């Protein structure tokens, strides 16, 4: 009894010293979250709340709270001018395509025969992707999404994600992935360990036969296996968002709309219906495009209680919920109701070009400038370290303040190019009629 009393006293002392909370040491791996330990994302530590002695929730000391707020205000920095356009849109979300290859041939994405791929030497290496990620995070980017092609076919995707995951200490909050799910289930646990926080999974039908028609490949069972594994990890406590993206094409898969809605009855997913968009090689036609208001009418006819959910400033999706359902649904309405006014996204293609708008055909090469001191050759791990040593020697080992990796001159040049491109971003993309005839890359070469 005395031992128990002493243990209780020590626990109470720890609770009081921590202002009502006792924090265990940080976990060895982010998968602790997936194994049932609740985590506090802001400090990346598991936190266990002990009840206050009087039964009331713990209250932090007022003086301590005020000090923290003053300190955070003091440390706050203005958002980077390089990532702010002339319409005062702040771009804190970067999408990076890490491959042009894909193991599917979806109708709306690429022609059946595929597309000409860039020579391997033209594609960004992992050190180059990490360097650009670090540079953008140093300027205020808080979310990075890896896309493709199909990003999981890249052989070194896991070490690449691990390296980008280290940027959490520099301000990165979210590391997300867009995937078709074919091989995701084999790599998912390791990706969560690397810091993966969100998955957009492309799936246009819940019918295995229809899946093969729309993707021109088999693989439906593998995709469903990936979805089940994601839901398992979420149920275990993993900090992992799942969104299923469904491109709706009239006469092809609109009958899947209601089954997708029903998927959210007992599953924690958000299904987002996407209006069919024109890109090179996808044989877009206005007659195949099902406007979101038609989709909404179909859903309301079956679920009259459907209601809109308040969104966030930079949402690309109009979100709804069916009362009593666990999941949600949304609409990405690029064709009939654009969301350009709150756009906070930039894109880097696999070959290193910056695109400030998905539907804009203007691009600027970051790769060529990045490789200037390497004779125009791809920067591998060895070259990456050598360039860092040269820069550090040149500056007598002193790293410049505010630079991502110490390449002061190179970073300034890159930021000038990035800033100029961002400043040229238009208020909104072209309308449906213009987009239909505008020259742009195939979607597979832009990045989903």
CATH number at residue 238: 3.20.20.70
Report, in this order, helix, strand and coil percent for the chain, each rounded to 5.
40, 15, 45
> Does 371 map to a domain?
no
> Does 255 map to a domain?
yes
> Does 414 map to a domain?
no
Long-range CB contacts (< 8 A, 24+ apart) of 214-221?
214/106, 214/107, 214/252, 214/253, 215/104, 215/105, 215/106, 215/107, 215/180, 216/104, 216/105, 216/106, 216/107, 216/112, 217/103, 217/104, 217/105, 219/103, 219/104, 219/180, 219/182
> Does 72 map to a domain?
no
Q: Give the pLDDT of residue 291.
A: 94
Cβ atoms of residues 290 and 349 within 8 Å = no
CA distances from 200 to 196, 204, 232, 286, 445 (A): 12, 12, 16, 26, 18
Q: Where are the beta strands (DSSP E) in 160-293?
A: 174-179, 198-202, 241-248, 270-275
> Does 146 map to a domain?
yes
Contacts of 66 (CB under 8 A, 6+ apart): none
**116 and 38 share a domain?**
no
**116 and 234 share a domain?**
yes
**102 and 247 share a domain?**
yes
* Distance separating alpha carbons of residues 411 and 405, to the nearest angstrom: 9
Phi/psi of residue 357, nearest 5 degrees: -145, 135
> Does 409 map to a domain?
no
**262 and 164 share a domain?**
yes
Q: Where are the beta strands (DSSP E) in 139-290?
A: 143-147, 174-179, 198-202, 241-248, 270-275
Cβ atoms < 10 Å from Cβ of 163: 18
Cβ atoms of residues 224 and 211 within 8 Å = no
Closest of 106, 217, 229, 98 to residue 158, by C-alpha: 98
Count of the separate structural domains present in the chain: 2
CA distances from 280 to 74, 180, 190, 283 (A): 49, 20, 35, 8
**222 and 310 share a domain?**
yes
**195 and 115 share a domain?**
yes
Q: What dihedral angle (degrees, nearest 10) is formed by the CA atoms of 135, 140, 143, 144? A: -20
Q: Give the pLDDT of residue 282.
A: 56
**37 and 115 share a domain?**
no
Cβ atoms < 10 Å from Cβ of 121: 11
Using the structure block, give the residue that is written with the tokens 């109009």: 318
Helix axes 157-165, 184-194, angle to 10 degrees: 20
CA 171 to chain CA centroid, nearest Å: 15
Cβ atoms of residues 133 and 164 within 8 Å = yes
Long-range CB contacts (< 8 A, 24+ apart) of 5-13?
11/50, 12/53
**175 and 284 share a domain?**
yes
> Does 77 map to a domain?
no
364 DSSP 8-state letter: E
pTM of the entire structure? 0.79
> Does 60 map to a domain?
no
Q: Give the pLDDT of residue 312.
A: 82
195 DSSP 8-state letter: T
243 pairs with which residues across the strands? 200, 270
Cβ atoms < 10 Å from Cβ of 112: 8
**110 and 182 share a domain?**
yes
**108 and 209 share a domain?**
yes
Helix axes 126-138, 157-165, angle to 10 degrees: 20
**Range(s) of the domain holding residue 25:** 2-54
Contacts of 20 (CB under 8 A, 6+ apart): 49, 50, 52, 57, 58, 59, 60
pLDDT tens by residue, the chain, 448 residues: 444 444 444 433 343 333 333 332 333 344 444 443 333 333 333 333 333 333 334 444 545 556 665 555 555 568 999 999 999 999 999 999 999 999 998 887 777 777 889 999 999 999 999 999 999 999 999 999 999 999 999 999 999 999 999 999 999 999 999 999 999 999 999 999 999 999 999 999 999 999 999 999 999 999 999 999 999 999 999 999 999 999 999 999 999 999 999 999 999 999 999 998 776 555 667 778 999 999 999 999 999 999 999 988 778 789 999 999 999 999 998 778 776 888 999 999 999 999 998 777 789 999 999 999 899 999 999 988 887 776 666 665 555 555 556 667 888 999 999 999 999 999 975 444 454 555 555 656 666 6
**28 and 116 share a domain?**
no
**222 and 291 share a domain?**
yes
Contacts of 231 (CB under 8 A, 6+ apart): 242, 267, 268, 269
Using the structure block, give the residue that is written with the tokens 């649904």: 329
């Amino acid at each position: 009894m005395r031992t128990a009393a002493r243990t209780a006293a020590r626990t109470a002392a720890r609770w009081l010293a921590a202002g009502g909370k006792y924090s265990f040491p940080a976990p060895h791996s982010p998968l602790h979250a997936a194994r049932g330990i609740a985590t506090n994302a802001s400090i990346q530590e598991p936190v266990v709340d002990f009840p206050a002695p009087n039964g009331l929730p713990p209250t932090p000391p007022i003086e301590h709270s005020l000090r923290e707020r003053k300190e955070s205000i003091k440390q706050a920095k203005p958002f980077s001018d390089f990532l702010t356009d002339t319409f005062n849109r702040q771009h804190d979300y970067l999408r990076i395509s890490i491959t042009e290859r894909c193991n599917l041939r979806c109708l709306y994405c690429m022609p059946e025969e595929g597309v000409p791929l860039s020579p391997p030497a033209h594609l960004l290496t992992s050190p180059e992707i990490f360097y650009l990620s670090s540079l953008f995070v140093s300027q205020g980017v808080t979310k990075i999404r890896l896309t493709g092609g199909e990003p999981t076919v890249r052989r070194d995707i896991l070490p690449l994600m691990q390296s980008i995951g280290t940027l959490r200490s520099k301000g990165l909050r979210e590391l997300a992935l867009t995937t078709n799910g074919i091989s995701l289930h084999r790599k998912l646990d390791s990706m969560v360990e690397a810091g993966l926080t969100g998955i957009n999974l492309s799936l246009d039908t819940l019918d295995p036969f229809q899946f093969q028609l729309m993707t021109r490949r088999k693989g439906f069972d593998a995709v469903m296996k990936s979805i089940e594994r994601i839901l398992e990890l979420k149920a275990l406590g993993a900090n992992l968002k799942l969104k299923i993206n469904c491109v709706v094409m009239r006469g092809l898969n609109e009958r899947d709309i209601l089954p997708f809605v029903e998927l959210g009855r007992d599953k924690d997913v958000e299904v987002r219906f996407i209006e069919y968009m024109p890109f090179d090689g996808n044989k877009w036609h206005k007659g195949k495009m099902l406007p979101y208001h038609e989709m909404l009418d179909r859903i309301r006819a079956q679920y009259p209680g459907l209601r809109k959910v308040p969104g966030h400033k930079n949402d690309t999706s109009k979100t709804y919920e069916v009362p009593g359902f666990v999941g949600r649904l949304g609409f990405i309405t690029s064709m009939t109701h654009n969301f350009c006014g709150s756009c906070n996204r930039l894109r880097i293609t696999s070959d290193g070009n910056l695109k400030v708008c998905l539907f804009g055909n203007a691009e600027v090469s970051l790769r060529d400038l990045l490789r200037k001191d390497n004779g125009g050759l791809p920067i591998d791990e060895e070259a990456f370290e050598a360039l860092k040593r040269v820069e550090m020697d040149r500056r007598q080992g002193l790293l410049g303040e505010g630079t991502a990796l110490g390449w002061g001159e190179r970073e300034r040049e890159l930021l000038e190019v990035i800033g100029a491109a961002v400043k040229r971003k238009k208020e909104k993309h072209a309308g449906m009629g213009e987009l239909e005839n505008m020259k742009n890359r195939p979607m597979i070469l832009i990045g989903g």
